[in-house]
Structures are given as structure tokens and as C-alpha cells.
Structure 1
């Protein structure tokens, strides 16, 4: 099985304001982008489960020209609140790095 790093040159998470998290999955090339998009692994259900939010509140967008997939969802806690362990949301992508995907056919 493959991992996100087999498909992506960049995987990151960050704030999109104090109430929203965003994740970027930038593919290495067109073949990797097509395979990542078509694998249907990066889904609202995945992020809803991981972050305890409503699936309907998770937006997954594939950008063909950018060869990237962007995911946006409500932050589980407001940025800067006492319960916020990652104020800039830069570490939220970590658990996704062990996600398994189908091998790429090159």
C-alpha cells in the first residue's frame, strides 16, 4: 500500500480563520492527482470522523489546474481558546500521514 507522500509533494494543515481548519494535498504530478482524486479516500466522512464534526460541514474540493485537493472544516475548538492545543493548526495533518492508499501504477 502507498501513503500520501507517494502521491503528494506537499501535505499541510493550517487555519482559515479562528473557526475553520483547512488541509491541502498537492499532488506530485497529474497522474498522482488523478489517482488521489479517484481513490475517494479524502472524503468528508474521513474528516468528520477524525475531528468529530458533522460530515455536512466538511468541504472537499479538487482543483484540476492546481493538481490539489483542499479540505475545509470547522475547528473542533476556537483558535486560541483554553482547549486549543494547536493554535496555528499546523500539526493537524499528522494523523493523515499513516493513511493507506492504493499503489500508483506508473
Structure 2
């Protein structure tokens, strides 16, 4: 089965301040954007990151062929329990998500 990471150009995650993480999916072109947009639901992403659906923000940016998700970090950045200060490892979960 194809994963999201195999289908798109890049999946990147980063801090969006000390309390939020943003994950960007760079689709590369309009056709792939439309395909991925349908395959990746907000429910699925909220479940993957174990965040309530109402705290997940989704931005579909057709002009750039990018889908962006933002959600609260499980712990604040640089707190003693923070295992990823830059928020970079969140992308891996989405990259490995099976499509179809």
C-alpha cells in the first residue's frame, strides 16, 4: 500500500510557537493536491496525533498545492517532558500514513 510520503513531494513539521505544531504536506501539483486532499481527512489526522478534532486546524492552500495542519503540542516546547523541541518528528507519522 502506498504511503502519503511516497505520494507527495515533502511532509514537514515544525513548531508554531511553544504550544503548537504545524505539519505541512507539499503535494507538488494540483492533481496530486486534489487526490491527497480527499484521502486525508481531518478526523484521520486528529486520530493519528491523538488530539481532539475541534483543536485541529486545517488549511488547504490550492494555490501552493499545500495542506497544512496545526494542533496543540502535547507538552510545551522545552518543558522537561518535551521529546522534540523543534517539532520536526511529527512529520514522520503522517509520512507513513497508508493511503487508500
TM-score exceeds 0.5? yes
TM-score with structure 1 length normalisation? 0.85
Contact 1:7 1:28 survives alignment (8 Å): no
Task: List per-residue Cα deviations over 1:29-85 (Å, max 9, x = no partner).
Answer: 21111100122x241x23332333221000111101010100000001000000000
Residues in 1 aligned to 2:49 and 2:4: alpha-carbon distance in whole angstroms: 19
CA RMSD of aligned residues (A): 1.4
List structure 1 runs of 4+ shifted beyond 4 angstroms: none
Contact 2:5 2:96 survives alignment (8 Å): no
Q: Who wins on radius of gyration, i.e. which is larger?
A: 1
5+ residue gaps, structure 2: none
Report what 1:93 is aligned to: 91
Query: Aligned to 1:70, what secondary structure does the other structure show?
Result: strand
5+ residue gaps, structure 1: none
Matched pairs, number: 100
TM-score with structure 2 length normalisation? 0.90
Once the two structures are TM-superposed, the CA of residue 94 in structure 1 deviates from its matched residue by 1.1
